[in-house]
Amino acid sequence: MMIPLLTVYDVLLKNGVNFFTGVPDSLLKHFCAFISDQVEPAEHVITANEGSAVALAAGWHLGTGELALVYLQNSGLGNAINPLSSLADPDVYGIPMVLMIGWRGEPGVKDEPQHVKQGRITPAMLVALELPWFELASTTDAPDELIGEACRSARARSAPAVILVRKGSFETYATQSQPAATYSLSREQALIQIVDHTDPTDLLVSTTGKISRELYELRERKKEAHSRDFLTVGSMGHASSIALGLARAQPDRRVLCLDGDGAAIMHLGSLAIIGQSPASNLVHVVLNNGAHDSVGGQPTVGFEINLAGIARSCGYRQALVVQDQEHLLTALEEVLTTGGGPTFLEVRVNQGARADLGRPRSSPGDNKLALMRHIATTTKGER
């Protein structure tokens, strides 16, 4: 029997957890949606990355003496290792908090390729970090006692404690706040226009999540090869740096990065490095729907900040914002013909995707080899 979310929330409150922060996760999406609806904005922050959430939880404890809960996917442990070991650890400041981690790639449970290694080593990572962890599943006899024990452990040790959540633990929950259909383009419609304006010699790097899935299916529908595309199935937030490395390695080819707002914000400092680079052949496109669309649609701050203005301040030679097809087509003509980049194009689109959107059938390794063979065997073109 799946665990009621109200039970989880109530036991957290009873154990002094009164602040929630983190990065949404598809395995925890029902919990994240419940928290977004139930918790006052002053006591809930969706952060740019998991390390920032740990730091935010530390600041909350310093100011209140109370516990915060940090939610994240186990792949986000990489972002959190530094503040967990050099800030919150009892050998340093000794700051208690509760981490709720979604266990993607759990051994014996089918998952996507990027989660297999991370899922297998998650327990070992927690052991190496000397974090006590409590495994929560739908079959847990007394989930309220387990959650309470994790909270008590955090307080007793003045250190983080982990609730490791297995797939299917929580009951389903549909958020009460629905996204408004603000813009005339869907992400997939915008993607079609962008891909249609590329040249055969262009290389594309797409970010993790639904953008890569939509790009893969677009190639399938057009009966085109996938060899020009690098589908970043993991490493959220790093597609732009991958694209920069590729652009520097192939200066005579144009490289397009197809990014998302959540991914771009996660490692926003990359814009400064790209903007100060001589990569005149790099076009950085952010398909901004103001949401973590691949993990439940929780909001980002993508619509509240000026991404193009940030890119311009970081040194991008051009930075444009569009929100309809007419202006998108005009902007594509401009950024894809003038050169002299790096250039930045923010396309504001609606949240959501097709219900029948599939996943790439080729493995990440096959994707890598196909791209490298394509680069090695094709002529670099004039832009």
Q: Are 303 and 249 in a shared domain?
A: yes
Q: Is residue 211 part of a domain?
A: yes
Number of helices and strands in the chain (H, E): 14, 14
- Mean pLDDT calculated for residue range 84-104: 98
In a domain, 154, yes or no: yes
Determine the Cα–Cα distance for residues 204 and 368; give it in Å rounded to an integer. 12
Whole-model pTM: value is: 0.93
- CA–CA separation, 378 and 93 (whole Å): 55
Give the model's pLDDT for residue 383: 39
Please check whether residues 55 and 132 belong to one and the same domain. yes
Q: How confident is the model at residue 29 (pLDDT cuts 50, 70, 90)?
A: very high
Least trusted range by pLDDT, from 6-15, 70-79, 331-340: 331-340
Q: Quick one: pLDDT band at residue 181, thresholds 50, 70, 90?
A: low
CB atoms within 10 A of CB 248: 14
324 within some domain: yes
Q: Examine the domain organization and report whether 13 and 159 are in the same domain.
A: yes
Give the domain range for residue 208.
Answer: 187-377
Residues 95 and 134 in one domain: yes
CATH number at residue 240: 3.40.50.970
Lowest mean per-residue pLDDT among 161-170, 298-307, 356-365: 356-365
Helix (H/G/I), strand (E/B), else coil: 197: coil
pLDDT band at 114 (very low <50, low <70, confident <90, very high): confident
- CA dist 317 and 130 (Å) reads 46
| Together in a domain, 157 and 191 | no
Q: Is residue 175 part of a domain?
A: no
User: Number of structural domains, the chain?
Assistant: 2
Would you say residue 69 has pLDDT above 90? yes
